[in-house]
Amino acid sequence: MTTTAAVDPDLLRRGGLALDVDGPRATISLARPEALNAQTPATWEALRAIGDALPADVRAVVVRGEGRAFSAGLDKRFFTADEVDGLPGIAGIARLPDDEADAMIAAFQAGFSWLRHPARITVAAVQGHAIGAGFQLALACDLRVVGDDVLFCMAEPTLGIVPDLGGTHPLVHAVGYARAVDICLTGRRVGAQEAVSCGLAQRAVPAGELDAAVGELVAALLAVPAKAAAETLGLLSAVDDGLDAAGALAAERAAQLRRLRSLAAGEG
């Protein structure tokens, strides 16, 4: 049965997003194809609201873009205008006191950071251009499946700013420091073949087969018992966050005991 989580429809509209919840799977679609799914702060506010509102039984989240691009990045108006849609542009943020500017950027980041919470697995289905904020949104997900037409680009440094939506940590972890430097400071495009070979994406398929491939992947992920999947995600996430070998062994022991006791109690 398809349902909708309790997110303000007007906020979704202003953010250029569509949300569909179908049992254990939620699909977030960037839904401004006429603007190549360019993002605004309202997009990030809507993403944060979705993360807060998803039902607990949602175990997998797919993030996709409508039309020929995943996302062309930040709406260009924010580079030139002091205010757009009631929110400050880049120049307006620069004039804020430090604490206010920091809090504003932290709120933007919160729209992305929940996608890496071990409570659920997240998959980015990426076709066409994924530039700047679009690249960082794909990086926020646990897994990335790409169309053979994909072009990733971290454009921020070439525009005089930095990636600030949480993209630097997963990029370095995915491809290594040196390649991340190359990608960020040259602003070059990364295609499907390189993305898979360097670990940026897990699989590349013909663009017309992207939705089907993601559907098959999500079905496989959801076939794993929910509590075992959540515990495993938690273990892997802790290692990714810097947990050392001894700590990982201890975490595995504790997680396994929780699972064995839950299974013995008939809780699944």
Q: Do residues 102 and 12 both lie within one domain?
A: yes
* pLDDT score of 1: 41
Q: Do residues 231 and 218 both lie within one domain?
A: no
pTM (two decimals):
0.94
Token pair, residue 72, equals 């062309």
pLDDT at 87 over 90: no
Q: Do residues 71 and 184 both lie within one domain?
A: yes
* pLDDT score of 63: 98
pLDDT at 84 over 80: no
- Quick: pLDDT tens for 120-164: 999 999 999 999 999 999 999 999 999 999 999 999 999 999 999
Q: Do residues 84 and 106 both lie within one domain?
A: yes
Compute the average pLDDT of residues 250-268: 95
Q: Do residues 205 and 141 both lie within one domain?
A: yes
Q: How confident is the model at residue 6 (pLDDT cuts 50, 70, 90)?
A: confident
The Cα 134–Cα 33 span in angstroms is 13
Query: 160, 145, 74, 152: which is closest to 111 by C-alpha?
Result: 74
Q: Do residues 78 and 9 both lie within one domain?
A: yes
The Cα 150–Cα 203 span in angstroms is 12
**CB–CB of 125/71 below 8 Å?**
no
Q: Do residues 241 and 118 both lie within one domain?
A: no
* pLDDT score of 130: 98
pLDDT at 36 over 70: yes
Q: Do residues 204 and 80 both lie within one domain?
A: yes
Count of domains forming the chain: 2
User: Helices (DSSP H) in 85-175: which residue ranges?
Assistant: 90-94, 98-113, 133-140, 168-175
CA distances in angstroms from 200 to 51, 54, 104, 196, listed in the order given: 24, 27, 29, 6
Mean pLDDT of the chain: 94
- Quick: pLDDT tens for 202-254: 999 999 999 999 999 999 999 999 999 999 999 999 999 899 999 999 999 99
Q: Do residues 250 and 218 both lie within one domain?
A: no
Sign of CA dihedral 58, 62, 67, 70: positive
Q: Do residues 243 and 171 both lie within one domain?
A: no
Q: Do residues 101 and 217 both lie within one domain?
A: yes
Only one residue has tokens 């997680």, namely 255
Q: Do residues 38 and 83 both lie within one domain?
A: yes
Only one residue has tokens 């679609």, namely 29
CATH number at residue 91: 3.90.226.10
For residue 221, the one-letter residue type is L
Q: Which domain holds residue 6?
A: 2-222
